[in-house]
């Protein structure tokens, strides 16, 4: 990565889902390697929260869902689809 000023974390998964070769997060020009996808997703989410970075528009609903349903953090800006999915999943627990 040549842009050293980029503060948004980028989750990178190399390989296919059944044969993942490498999982890492790029942040400020540094590469942080993880043992698995869940560990990398967790770290990426926590970077967004701790650094108060807005979720990218194209995937904000995914991160918003994780924020409210998985991490149980209130999010007043949730999309209707995230609210519906969270509600439906809560009912089948």
Confidence at residue 81, expressed as pLDDT on a 0 to 100 scale? 87
Report yes or no: 28 and 6 within 8 Å, Cβ to Cβ. yes
Taking residue 60's Cβ as centre, other Cβ atoms within 10 Å add up to 16
Range list of β-strands (E), 1-93: 10-16, 19-27, 30-34
Confidence at residue 92, expressed as pLDDT on a 0 to 100 scale? 87
Domain locations in the chain as residue ranges: 1-53, 56-93
Torsion of CA 12, 9, 59, 92, to 10 degrees: 80
pLDDT digits (tens, 9 = 90+) for 32-79: 999 999 999 999 999 999 999 999 999 999 999 999 889 999 888 788
């Amino acid at each position: 990565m040549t842009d050293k000023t980029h503060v948004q974390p980028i989750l990178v998964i190399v390989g296919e889902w059944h044969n993942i070769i490498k999982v890492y997060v790029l942040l400020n020009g540094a590469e942080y390697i993880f043992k698995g996808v869940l560990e990398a997703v967790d770290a990426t989410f926590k970077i967004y929260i701790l650094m108060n970075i807005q979720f990218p528009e194209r995937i904000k609903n995914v991160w918003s869902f994780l924020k409210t349903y998985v991490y149980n953090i209130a999010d007043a800006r949730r999309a209707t689809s995230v609210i519906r999915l969270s509600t439906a999943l809560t009912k089948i627990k």
